[in-house]
Chains A and B, each alone.
Chain A
Amino acid sequence: MSDHPKHAEIQRELDENDVVLFMKGSPMMPQCGFSAAVSQVLSEVGVKFKGIDVLSDADLRDEIKNFSNWPTIPQLYVKGEFLGGCDIIREMHATGELKKVLDEKGVQLAG
């Protein structure tokens, strides 16, 4: 991890929000099918999350990839921990593991 100033900004978002999705577009208006898929999974699970649009910030778009050592967007963080990208989150949702992990981490689910 470098000491790029963006990394401190990313860390602050993770400290302040339990569930953060770095995505293309917003949860209401995703700009990419993979970002849309993960937003959809999170609303199905009933978890509140903060969506951060990397398309509006070129530095963030590059640095989030270095921050997590993960080459693609979307990226889901729960309580500061990188949980995965689209494939992993969809797989975890299909097996019911996602709900379990959120539960174990003490994240509030609706309904």
Chain B
Amino acid sequence: MAMSATEIEGLIKEAFPDADVLIKDLAGDGDHYAAQVASTAFSGKSRVQQHQMVYDALKGKMGNELHALALQTSIPE
């Protein structure tokens, strides 16, 4: 069921090659993560759209294999 931080980062980087990605394993159980993603791809998108783009990058794993990913998206300066 669980996913590794490297796997999550890999999927995000694949979708957003320019992204700065920071993943924290919150509980040490491979199931609760926090991710910060900064990418120019988010420019002009609402927060909901930005998160939807990251969820798309995770290819349906969010809400399934991946129970909890606290997400923070931003656009680099």
Q: Which residues of A contact B (CB under 8 A)?
A: 34, 65, 69-72, 82-88, 91
Partner of B55, one of A70, A82, A83, A91: A70
Given contacts A70-B55, A71-B62, A72-B63, contact A82 B68 (CB under 8 A): no
Contacts of B60 in A (CB 8 A): 71
Given contacts A69-B52, A70-B52, A70-B55, contact A84 B47 (CB under 8 A): yes
Q: In the A-B complex, list the 4 residue pairs whose CB atoms are closest, starting with the nearest.
A: A71-B63, A71-B62, A72-B63, A87-B71
**Closest partner residue, chain A, to B60 (CB atom):** A71
Q: Smallest CB–CB gap between A108 and chain B, Å? A: 24
Let me know if B72 is at the binding interface, CB within 8 A.
Answer: yes
Q: Which residues of B contact A (CB under 8 A)?
A: 47-48, 51-52, 55, 60, 62-64, 68, 70-72
B55/A71 in contact, CB under 8 A: yes
Q: Smallest CB–CB gap between A19 and chain B, Å? A: 16
Partner of B51, one of A34, A65, A88: A88
| Bound form: Cα–Cα A65–B63 in Å | 10
Q: Smallest CB–CB gap between A75 and chain B, Å? A: 10
- 23 A-B pairs within 8 Å (CB atoms) are namely A69-B52, A70-B48, A70-B51, A70-B52, A70-B55, A71-B55, A71-B62, A71-B63, A71-B64, A72-B62, A72-B63, A82-B48, A83-B48, A84-B47, A84-B48, A84-B51, A85-B51, A87-B51, A87-B71, A88-B47, A88-B51, A91-B47, A91-B72
A34/B47 in contact, CB under 8 A: no
| Bound form: Cα–Cα A69–B56 in Å | 10
Q: Smallest CB–CB gap between A78 and chain B, Å? A: 12
| Bound form: Cα–Cα A71–B71 in Å | 13
Contacts of B72 in A (CB 8 A): 87, 91
